[in-house]
Structure 1
């Protein structure tokens, strides 16, 4: 079948596309920034189109000639995500109903307990599902609780809390029951939803074979990971908001995502029935038990084989203001250039491996302190790391940066996602110094567009440290390239 996937650059969308291809479907992947899909291993097997779920014209173009619509978009990282998700779902639902050839919509939502005041996160997921079910196009809504898989926000929150805190004080919701599901089982249901009978227009709860409390999940994770037994003391005074502040400090999941996720844990999220099996059979080898799902996720992390991560999904940004006179001349830059005897290819290797375990090549203490300040302010901090220690991909998260542009082996541009009174970019490039390629030139440009007086004051306050931070980075990157070339 001809399938169009909205959210192909996201955590689940990036994993669903190759599964659909392997099942024999033709796939069109929709992205606000198609460049983010340039380096995925399945790029040559799909049609990539530019589209935004809030733009009716681009949605209509994306749906043209398609039979199955997969909607895997969620704006959790934005404050107004409820309104934004409602508007986006209505746009896609209306376009699908008017497209003519669309036979099926498939949406992944969340299990929402009945008769309770739902969290904004669960209420929004339920509302989006209802919008699609009311579209007039046969729809399959698959509702899941916590998804266990390498790179998912829920799994990362669980992993970091358990690994970093041998003892912890927790809120009462750690005793609430949850039915986690392995990401590979979610993908199984999603793929087979494309071919269910055309008369099916229904929401289904999906879950793994185990019903656990969050406390059980942490303790069982510790066993699988080979950690000592965790000491957990539940107390009644920790609200979801306070819990999210702690998650924000201890895990890579920023407060903006942690709050709605934790607010949802206040509810017991257990599948009400197994009606889905009347239309989609379970995987041939059965549903994945919780401990095995943890083992699979940890194996991928150890092997650096994490194809998608929650942090790789980002909001679109305005282009880099490259003109110094842009916006009335209120763009600050710090430009450093150094010539080095290192080969351009060796210099590029160092540039592309920046961040994560390799660090930022200047004043580590300053970077760490700035990272902690950012975490306390609800930002990304330095804990997102990087997916692969050597190779980057357009659109992926890199500590508190986002890879905005990658022109291998010449230029890397990063967009800051730290909490700032303005917008910032860091651009690193390597070019041959002479026509025959002997030696190379390293160029580094930091760009800051201030927002209001606070932005101007921020730049001026850190200007005295630029030589240590930016100058040190340029010196150390070129020095590392030279050292590695000599060592080789």
Structure 2
């Protein structure tokens, strides 16, 4: 029995991604036993019920994350950032995932959350080098665990359900291709698990002290290859498909082929296909006897998923039926998110990195670029004249050695904001490492959008690349020369 079942009062569970594929189904499974704080970027568009309170939350904002988790006893983390999150996103999904997880973990710590439950992917124990997707999942797991809040990680392979990411790709390949050329990865073994079995594992881990701080693998009753799943799916769909093994199709070629064939955005397909070079099979030594062993056979799970999807499509308005997936963010707001990861010299922190960047920018751009920083660490960036291109207002109350936060408060290159404080630049150190994320969030440029994308946006990436090289040169020096480095921390 878990704490959620024996508590004298209903526990309060914060559920991220509550409007998404897994979150929506988990919400329905939990709402009779708990009070739910349902978190979504568009939470205000949903109506509260007796046991469910919706909250809008942008987890890229630490302040929003802190507000979102107020009052929660437990928190379920179902967030992945494989799709763009702004009109222009200049960031790897791995780096965006780290920011989201770091904000969430810090907010959980501040609000006294007893446990975080995280749905991740199976990590192959013998892999010499993990794919980007699996490496990111492991990084997120470590970051969530960095703030003394117990984390329980449920590691699953391919989840068989009506939506999600992996199984719909299998379904679309079977549906659209009378003959399929199957590259080597389609013979790789995986451990599919039905959505309902994943939901049971997630529910059973909430308040489960036995799993506090633990990571467990979950899987269904069969270990299969992707080819075998395609054969079974074709049989369920009543399709006669010819499958031909080919040795020549690389993973890079496969991911393009799958994206084009299924109409699935490359931002989602590419990391998933890259992970299929690994055998994603649950490790018996890493399984819990009560929660890890799903009982639903693949064919039964696939049949249910296909029936549910057909039923949902029949209930959709015609306008939604005719829509197609897109990798673009359909928003009238011309905002920018840009994240770059750099390595800091030993003993330096995010506060140092922020100060070094402002000073280096003038050194790099002289005589055209000039910067200034006052005693409150507010900074201005100038090009030629006296009017600043950007004004950066330092947030003393939300900054510390591991994080330096500036609000983009004005300047010729910044569009005036109706809600001040959303556009921001931050330097954030990844816990227990010398890596630092330099991120711009919700920046709204004043330049016309097309002109911005071909000029300022590209210039920013170039500057970040050169700053990263500058830091790498400092690291390579055995004896760093303090006189060449503005060795000033903003928190000093």
Deviation at 1:70, TM superposition (A): 0.6
Assess if the C-alpha contact under 8 Å between 1:21 and 1:27 holds in 2. yes
Judging changes above 3 Å, is the alpha-carbon distance between structure 1 residues 90 and 403 closer, same or farther for their aligned structure 2 residues? closer
Assess if the C-alpha contact under 8 Å between 1:5 and 1:17 holds in 2. yes
Assess if the C-alpha contact under 8 Å between 1:150 and 1:306 holds in 2. no
Paired with 2:73 and 2:206, the residues of 1 have a C-alpha distance of: 9
1:150 to 151, 158, 162: 162
Aligned to 1:11: 21
Aligned to 2:64: 58
Note the 1:331-410 alignment, pairs <5 A.
353-354=318-319, 356=321, 383-384=324-325
Deviation at 1:71, TM superposition (A): 0.6
Assess if the C-alpha contact under 8 Å between 1:104 and 1:198 holds in 2. no
TM-score (norm 2): 0.61
Paired with 2:155 and 2:211, the residues of 1 have a C-alpha distance of: 19
Aligned to 1:92: 104
Judging changes above 3 Å, is the alpha-carbon distance between structure 1 residues 129 and 11 closer, same or farther for their aligned structure 2 residues? same
Judging changes above 3 Å, is the alpha-carbon distance between structure 1 residues 57 and 113 closer, same or farther for their aligned structure 2 residues? same
Deviation at 1:202, TM superposition (A): 0.5
Paired with 1:75 and 1:307, the residues of 2 have a C-alpha distance of: 28
For structure 1, the 5+ residue unaligned runs are 309-351, 358-381, 385-398, 405-412, 416-448, 456-488
Aligned to 1:70: 76
Aligned to 2:451: 452
SS of match in other structure, 1:304: helix
Aligned to 1:257: 268
Say whether 1:273 aligns with 2:284: yes
Deviation at 1:233, TM superposition (A): 2.1
SS of match in other structure, 2:155: strand
Paired with 1:99 and 1:354, the residues of 2 have a C-alpha distance of: 42
Judging changes above 3 Å, is the alpha-carbon distance between structure 1 residues 163 and 305 closer, same or farther for their aligned structure 2 residues? closer
Paired with 1:400 and 1:142, the residues of 2 have a C-alpha distance of: 28
Say whether 1:190 aligns with 2:155: no
Number of positions where the alignment pairs a residue of Structure 1 with one of Structure 2: 324
Q: Spell out, residue by residue over 1:89-116, the C-alpha distance to the aligned partner (whole angstroms, 9 max, x if none).
A: 112112222322x111000000011232
Deviation at 1:355, TM superposition (A): 5.4
Assess if the C-alpha contact under 8 Å between 2:115 and 2:212 holds in 1. no
Aligned to 1:214: 226
Say whether 1:246 aligns with 2:238: no
Assess if the C-alpha contact under 8 Å between 2:313 and 2:321 holds in 1. no
Assess if the C-alpha contact under 8 Å between 1:196 and 1:279 holds in 2. no
Aligned to 2:309: 301
Paired with 1:232 and 1:131, the residues of 2 have a C-alpha distance of: 42
TM-score (norm 1): 0.61
RMSD: 2.9
Aligned to 1:165: 177
Assess if the C-alpha contact under 8 Å between 1:138 and 1:199 holds in 2. no
SS of match in other structure, 2:283: coil
Paired with 2:262 and 2:279, the residues of 1 have a C-alpha distance of: 23
Assess if the C-alpha contact under 8 Å between 1:4 and 1:27 holds in 2. yes
Judging changes above 3 Å, is the alpha-carbon distance between structure 1 residues 49 and 306 closer, same or farther for their aligned structure 2 residues? farther
Paired with 1:453 and 1:103, the residues of 2 have a C-alpha distance of: 45
Assess if the C-alpha contact under 8 Å between 2:34 and 2:51 holds in 1. no
Moved more, 42-51 or 189-198: 42-51
Assess if the C-alpha contact under 8 Å between 2:216 and 2:292 holds in 1. no
Aligned to 2:248: 237
Note the 1:65-144 alignment, pairs <5 A.
65-78=71-84, 79-100=91-112, 102-116=113-127, 117-144=129-156
2:36 to 27, 50, 58: 27
Judging changes above 3 Å, is the alpha-carbon distance between structure 1 residues 97 and 353 closer, same or farther for their aligned structure 2 residues? same
Paired with 2:333 and 2:63, the residues of 1 have a C-alpha distance of: 30
Assess if the C-alpha contact under 8 Å between 1:157 and 1:252 holds in 2. no
Paired with 2:208 and 2:256, the residues of 1 have a C-alpha distance of: 43
2:299 to 253, 272, 291: 291
Paired with 1:175 and 1:356, the residues of 2 have a C-alpha distance of: 33
Judging changes above 3 Å, is the alpha-carbon distance between structure 1 residues 5 and 132 closer, same or farther for their aligned structure 2 residues? same
Aligned to 1:179: 191
Assess if the C-alpha contact under 8 Å between 2:152 and 2:214 holds in 1. yes
Assess if the C-alpha contact under 8 Å between 2:44 and 2:54 holds in 1. no
Aligned to 1:477: none
Judging changes above 3 Å, is the alpha-carbon distance between structure 1 residues 137 and 69 closer, same or farther for their aligned structure 2 residues? same
Q: Spell out, residue by residue over 1:248-282, the C-alpha distance to the aligned partner (whole angstroms, 9 max, x if none).
A: 22213111211111001111100002654345476
Paired with 1:160 and 1:145, the residues of 2 have a C-alpha distance of: 19
Paired with 2:314 and 2:60, the residues of 1 have a C-alpha distance of: 29
Aligned to 1:445: none
